[in-house]
Chains A and B, each alone.
Chain A
Amino acid sequence: GAGVSQSPRYKVAKRGQDVALRCDPISGHVSLFWYQQALGQGPEFLTYFQNEAQLDKSGLPSDRFFAERPEGSVSTLKIQRTQKEDSAVYLCASSPSGPSFGYEQYFGPGTRLTVT
């Protein structure tokens, strides 16, 4: 069956540009998560949705980062005025249940963002 998909897989942006990263979760999954993974580190939590509601955005590093899931399915992570320190892999995960972090999460392959 179809897993979590993310697009684009690779994105190169010039410093100061805005980027939008897309996540298509597994159909019917209630919960959706975004993570940031710097080179050589484990993923770090950014934000969490249950359906269309953003229940936790405590991990977003600055107000340049914005996430939405308007219809409770596809989600977009937007980064405004990108900086070099935003270079990382951005991972999306979905889970069939909520509201809770305590369920198996299914991860997409990630989008590798490079800011030059």
Chain B
Amino acid sequence: DAKTTQPPSMDCAEGRAANLPCNHSTISGNEYVYWYRQIHSQGPQYIIHGLKNNETNEMASLIITEDRKSSTLILPHATLRDTAVYYCIALSGNTPLVFGKGTRLSVIA
């Protein structure tokens, strides 16, 4: 699996967009970019995934650079309930999820 690097922590004001970066410079062609988040004392929750096109769902948007070496998860209007650890994972279908340490996002009122 490609290793991903994320900033350890970020703050975001409530109601503003939260932009969480992820570097995956060694990602291979068959690896998807997955995002999960983990709210305190809960199990991880799937957010979104993509291969090379930008993706959007009801939770977030995923922007992947053309060279696929980095991506950004966007929460368009962050709320206090979005405070969590966010994990960026590069994944092919044949190897387990490798979570890393993620980014701790704090949404501030």
Contact = CB atoms under 8 A, between A and B. Distances in A.
Interface of A: 4, 33, 41-45, 48, 56, 58-59, 91, 93, 100-102, 104-110
Contacts, number: 54
Interface of B: 32, 41-46, 49, 85, 87, 91-102
A59 B32 CA distance: 22
Nearest to A4: B43
Contact of A41 (B42, B91, B95, B101): B101
Nearest to B44: A107
A93 B41 CA distance: 15
6 contacts: A33-B96, A33-B97, A43-B97, A43-B99, A59-B96, A104-B46
